[in-house]
Structure 1
Amino acid sequence: MAAAVERLQKLQKEITCGVCQSYFSDPVTIGCGHSFCRTCLSLSWRAGAGAFSCPECRQVPQVREFPAVNRRLAQLTEVGKELSCQVLHTTEQQHQCTTHEKGLKLFCEDDQTSVCVRCSQSPEHGAHMLSPIEEAAPRCREKLQNILAQVGKKVEEAETLLVQEERFAVDWHSMITREYCKLYQFLMEEESRCHERIRQEQNARQDMICQYRKRLQTLVVDLQEAGHQPNLDLLQDVKQLLGRSESVLALRAKTVTRELREYPIPGTIEMLNQFRVDITMDPTSASPILTVSEDLKSVKATEGWQVENKHPADSNLHIVLAEQAFSSGRHYWEVDVSQLPQWVLGIHSPYMKRKRGRNMNPWAIVFLLGCVKKENDYYLQTFPGSLNHRVKDPIPRVGVYLEYTSGSVVFYNVLQCSLIYGFHAISFTKPVKPIFSPGPPLLGTEAGPMTLCPVNSHLSACCYSSL
Structure 2
Amino acid sequence: MAGVDPGPAIPVWLVEDDLGCIICQGLLATPATLPCGHSFCRDCLKGLWAAGSASRPRSCPTCRESAPAPLQLRKNTLLQELVDKYSRALREAAAQKSIPEVGRELAELVEQLVDIVRSLQSQRHLPESGPDNEGSTPSMSMSSSGGVDLSLASSKPVTSNTPERKTRDILHDLEEIQKKLRENFTWKEAFEEQPQEVQEAPYSSSRPLPDQSHPAPKSASRFAQWAISPTFDLRSHSCSLEVSKDGRAVTVSRHPQTHLGGHERFVTCQALCSQAFSSGQQYWEVDTQHCSHWAVGVASWGMKRTQILGRTQDSYCVEWKGTSQLSAWHMVKETVLGSDRPKVVGIWLDLQEGNLAFYSVADQETLLYECPVSASSPLHPAFWLYGLNPGNSLTIRPIRV
The TM-score by the shorter chain falls in which range?
Answer: 0.3 to 0.5
Q: RCO (CA 8 Å, sep 6+): is it higher in 1 or 2?
A: 2
TM-score, normalised by the number of residues in structure 2: 0.42
TM-score, normalised by the number of residues in structure 1: 0.36
Indicate the structure with greater helix content.
1
